[in-house]
Amino acid sequence: MRFGFLSVSLEIITSYCFSQHTGAIETPGFRDPTIAAIEGTNNIFFINQHFPFLGPLIFGHKLKKLFQVNLFGKSEEALKGLHGVLQARVKEVLTNPASLDVAEHETVFHHLISSESRMKMLSPGEKPNIPSATSLFQEAGVLVMAGTGTVGNVCSRGMYYVLGKEEVREKLVRELTDAWPDREQRLDLDKLEKLPYLVRLWTCYLRS
């Protein structure tokens, strides 16, 4: 169940933020290598957050191979693949900003590179300060890591308690069934967000 939620979270965050699809939800057993890579590197990023002086050793060129073999293990290739996808997307939007015009929907790059709100904040004659490729890649990486692990873990924990409490489960199922009688039809997000018991329930789990 947890890997299912992680896979859905990864697909949503990469689609929403970068207009990219990973195919994680189509992997048998939801055991996509990218999920394993994200899971395996969480502790490394926490270490780097609290001990930033270790960053150059872990992620830099010196001793990089040695550290990656020990810390990233079998997830290294999947992590490289994810990095490659994000780096390619960053390169594409920087070299050809017009590619944003044909995206399925607005992405994070629309707001970091060419959003109207950013342009309005500029003084007359001031040129927009476009983030560097490194900065955009780092932003993308943070969004993927946080948007996948955090959301997936909260959903897994919440569902665990829902399934473990019959009264809660029955009440939630009843509300969802009343609001969504035909599951073959799409339920609009704005309607889903207004279901009172569902909202109270997940707000409670977010706070716990």
Determine the angle formed by the axes of helices 33-50 and 133-164, rounding to 10 degrees: 110
**Within a 10 A sphere around the Cβ of 121, how many other Cβ atoms?**
10
**Within a 10 A sphere around the Cβ of 61, how many other Cβ atoms?**
7
Rounded distance between C-alpha atoms, residue 172 and residue 77, angstroms: 41
15 near 103, Cβ under 8 Å? Answer: no
Query: What is the value of pTM for the model shown?
Result: 0.71
Rounded distance between C-alpha atoms, residue 94 and residue 176, angstroms: 43
**Within a 10 A sphere around the Cβ of 86, how many other Cβ atoms?**
22
CA 182 to centroid of chain Cα atoms: 29
Structure tokens at 12: 């949503």
pLDDT digit of tens for each residue in the chain (208 aa)? 888 999 999 898 888 887 778 888 888 888 888 887 777 666 666 776 777 777 666 665 555 555 554 555 556 677 777 778 888 888 888 888 777 777 777 788 777 776 554 555 556 665 666 778 888 888 888 888 888 888 888 889 889 989 999 999 999 999 999 999 998 898 888 999 999 999 999 888 777 6
DSSP 182: -
End-to-end Cα distance, the chain: 20
